[in-house]
Chain A
Amino acid sequence: GEEVAQTPKHLVRGEGQKAKLYCAPIKGHSYVFWYQQVLKNEFKFLISFQNENVFDETGMPKERFSAKCLPNSPCSLEIQATKLEDSAVYFCASSQSPGNQPQHFGDGTRLSIL
């Protein structure tokens, strides 16, 4: 498609439950990026993929967060045993290259942990 599609738009989970977010990148874009936007608008980089391979995971919390981009499937970001502090808007972006091309963002998934 011509837009990055993120689902669901809103996700509510009780503390300790699992949350799974999905992202369909723009067709033809090889790179996918996940960001977390928290208070004060700060964008925190989590992880990026080149096709189905992890490209950079330096921002990914090691314990409860995992992500995948499998062929012919939306990419996914999964949080196990969610905590209150995981409440944020999670954005996915895609680009043709990781360097000088802009990233195209989806509209995000708002995750609320109760």
Chain B
Amino acid sequence: AQSVAQPEDQVNVAEGNPLTVKCTYSVSGNPYLFWYVQYPNRGLQFLLKYITGDNLVKGSYGFEAEFNKSQTSFHLKKPSALVSDSALYFCAVRDIRAGGSYIPTFGRGTSLIVHP
């Protein structure tokens, strides 16, 4: 079975400050991990993914995420937040063990609000 948790419904940060959006996962095997962003009245837009290799993954718009196997986490980070980063952020996981589902499980989303 695979599951993902985003423990914060909302994250507030001041513009220019670093931001972190948390994600933890549970899989039986090894994970593929994804972050997506959703703006109002739009579909999800892909930000970055962890498949294998370096634990620090860099993605679009200056975002990055760190895969931590021991803590089963994949937190999204950005060194300096912009007001335009305000949106809904979704973490997704897929278990790559043999026989695992090809369909990713999405978290419930975290609303990021960046204050001017």
Kindly state the interface size class of chain B when it binds its partner.
Answer: 20 to 34
Q: Measured between alpha carbons, how far is A40 from B9 in the docked complex, in Å?
A: 9
Q: Is B103 located at the chain interface by the 8 A CB criterion?
A: yes
Q: Which residues on B sit within 8 Å (CB–CB) of A108?
A: 41-43
Q: Using A42-B108, A100-B32 as known contacts, say yes or no to A91 and B44 having CB atoms under 8 A apart.
A: yes
Q: How far is the CB of A57 from chain B (nearest CB, A)?
A: 10
A-B contact count (CB 8 A): 57
Are A100 and B43 in touch, CB under 8 angstroms? no
Are B45 and A105 in touch, CB under 8 angstroms? yes
Q: How far is the CB of A105 from chain B (nearest CB, A)?
A: 3
B102's contact among A41, A59, A99, A105, by CB below 8 Å, is which?
A99
Kindly state the interface size class of chain A when it binds its partner.
Answer: 20 to 34
Q: Is A48 located at the chain interface by the 8 A CB criterion?
A: yes
Q: How far is the CB of B101 from chain A (nearest CB, A)?
A: 7
Q: How far is the CB of B111 from chain A (nearest CB, A)?
A: 8
Are B108 and A104 in touch, CB under 8 angstroms? no
Residues of A at under 8 Å CB distance from B? 4, 33, 40-43, 45, 48, 55-56, 58-59, 91, 93, 98-100, 102-108
Residues of B at under 8 Å CB distance from A? 32, 34, 36, 38, 41-46, 49, 51, 88, 90, 94, 96, 101-104, 106, 108-109
The 10 closest A-B pairs by CB, nearest first: A105-B43, A98-B102, A102-B46, A41-B109, A43-B106, A105-B44, A100-B51, A107-B43, A106-B43, A45-B103
